[in-house]
Amino acid sequence: MPIPNPLPNLNEVSLTPIAYIRSCYPERFGIPRQAGLVESAKAAIVFPHTDQQWHSLRGIESFSHIWVIFLLHGQSFSKFRPLVRPPRLGGNKSMGVYATRSPNRPNQIGLSAVPLDQVEQTPTEILLHIHGGDFLDGTPVLDIKPYVPYADAIATATSAWADDADPLLPVEWSPEATASLISTLTGDRNEIQPMISDVIAQDPRPGYERRKDGQPGQEWNMRLAGFDIFWKVEAGIATVTRLFPLSSSDDIPS
């Protein structure tokens, strides 16, 4: 039921995306739970190259960081839930959704602060190059605003059970996975391999699976940066066991 509104005709609001995000994350699994956790993950906010958009972005390059307001698209939630189970609490303790950053919200709107690296023009696009984001590829952007330290950074803020980042998993690579990466990679291995390791180090497994070893032989799988990646956790260490280019993912051996 809509919340009663003292102003007429405001129970529904229409929003139009202004841009979208070109990201290394083609699926939800593996995306860090907050912005800033995987600094090596690069992305771009893509605007159509029009005079209006170019004028709207004038001066943005003078800020080191920006706020990105976006739609949490590609979600599988069938309905809004007032109680959610944050992974930080092990996935077995419920909290009110407004006390969390769960994507299962009454309005699918996200907010992240990210570094702005460069503004680029092409004949058809204006690109805001960013890094460290938590965006699914194709994310619709509703608005951007400059990050202003004197107003946005609150030195005295506290955050209850979310004061510190989760501990990172050590990540190793099997010889087979390293060889596959080298043989198929068209870009810079020194960028892609550390980024994959950084994402796995965040331990994207469900909350109830984190901080424990999997079943013997159990592998996890995610798509990232053009690869299908398989990894396991044993003795508290994550190991990348194998990976394949996404173009051949339909033929991945079991």
Residue ending a domain, choose from 118, 152, 186: 152
Q: Between 249 and 219, whose confidence is greater?
A: 219
Q: Which residues contact 136 (CB under 8 A, 6 or more apart)?
A: 21, 23, 25, 26, 27, 28, 31, 73, 74
| Residue 52 domain-assigned (yes or no) | yes
| Segment 180-189 long-range contacts (CB within 8 Å, at least 24 positions apart) | 180/242, 180/243, 180/244, 181/227, 181/243, 184/227, 184/244, 184/245
Q: What are the tens digits of pLDDT across the range 38-75? A: 999 999 999 999 999 999 999 999 999 999 999 998 87
Say whether 159 sits in a helix, a strand or coil: coil
| Residue 82 domain-assigned (yes or no) | no
Q: What is the CATH number of the domain that holds 188?
A: 3.30.2310.20
* Residue 214: predicted pLDDT: 65
* Residue 252: predicted pLDDT: 43
Same domain, 140 and 190: no
Same domain, 53 and 133: yes
Q: What is the mean pLDDT of residues 198-226?
A: 84
* Residue 195: predicted pLDDT: 94
Q: Which bin fits 177, alpha (ψ -120 to 50), beta or left (φ > 0)?
A: alpha
Confidence of residue 35 (pLDDT cuts 50, 70, 90): very high
Q: Where are the beta strands (DSSP E) in 16-166?
A: 19-22, 42-48, 65-71, 83-84, 95-96, 109-121, 125-131, 140-146
* Residue 167: predicted pLDDT: 84
Q: Which residues contact 26 (CB under 8 A, 6 or more apart)?
A: 136, 137, 223, 224, 246
Report how many domains make up the chain. Answer: 2
Q: What are the tens digits of pLDDT across the range 138-185? A: 999 999 999 999 999 999 988 887 777 778 999 999 999 999 998 887
- Smallest CA-to-CA distance from 39 within 227, 237, 199, 216 is with 199
Q: Report the half-sphere exposure of 113 (CA within 13 A, side-chain side).
A: 9
Same domain, 32 and 136: yes
Residue ending a domain, choose from 93, 124, 152: 152
Same domain, 146 and 45: yes
| Residue 59 domain-assigned (yes or no) | yes
| Residue 1 domain-assigned (yes or no) | no
Same domain, 134 and 200: no
Same domain, 184 and 137: no
Give CA–CA dist 31/26, Å, rounded.
9
Domain that holds residue 36: 19-73+108-152
DSSP bridge pairs for 173:
240
Same domain, 137 and 39: yes
Comparing 35-39, 169-173, 246-250, which segment has the lowest mean pLDDT? 246-250
Q: Residue 229 is inside which H or E element, if any? A: strand 227-234
Give CA–CA dist 57/144, Å, rounded.
9
Q: Between 132 and 89, whose confidence is greater?
A: 132
Same domain, 114 and 234: no
Percent of the chain exceeding pLDDT 70 equals 90
* Residue 8: predicted pLDDT: 62
Q: Are 144 and 70 in contact (CB under 8 A)?
A: no
Place of tokens 């960013």: 130
| Residue 195 domain-assigned (yes or no) | yes
Tell me the one-letter amino acid at 94: S
* Residue 9: predicted pLDDT: 65
* Residue 209: predicted pLDDT: 74
* Residue 7: predicted pLDDT: 65
Q: Between 183 and 217, whose confidence is greater?
A: 183
* Residue 249: predicted pLDDT: 41
Q: What is the CATH number of the domain that holds 25?
A: 2.40.30.70
Same domain, 50 and 125: yes
DSSP codes joined into one string, 197-215: HHHHHT--S-GGGTTS--S
Same domain, 183 and 141: no
| Residue 96 domain-assigned (yes or no) | no
Same domain, 141 and 196: no
| Residue 130 domain-assigned (yes or no) | yes
Q: What are the tens digits of pLDDT across the range 95-128? A: 899 998 888 888 899 999 999 999 999 999 999 9
Confidence of residue 213 (pLDDT cuts 50, 70, 90): low
* Residue 4: predicted pLDDT: 66
| Residue 13 domain-assigned (yes or no) | no
| Segment 233-238 long-range contacts (CB within 8 Å, at least 24 positions apart) | 233/169, 233/203, 233/205, 236/169, 236/170, 237/169, 237/170, 237/171, 237/172, 238/169, 238/170, 238/171, 238/172, 238/200, 238/201, 238/203
Same domain, 148 and 182: no
* pLDDT exceeds cutoff 50 at 250: no
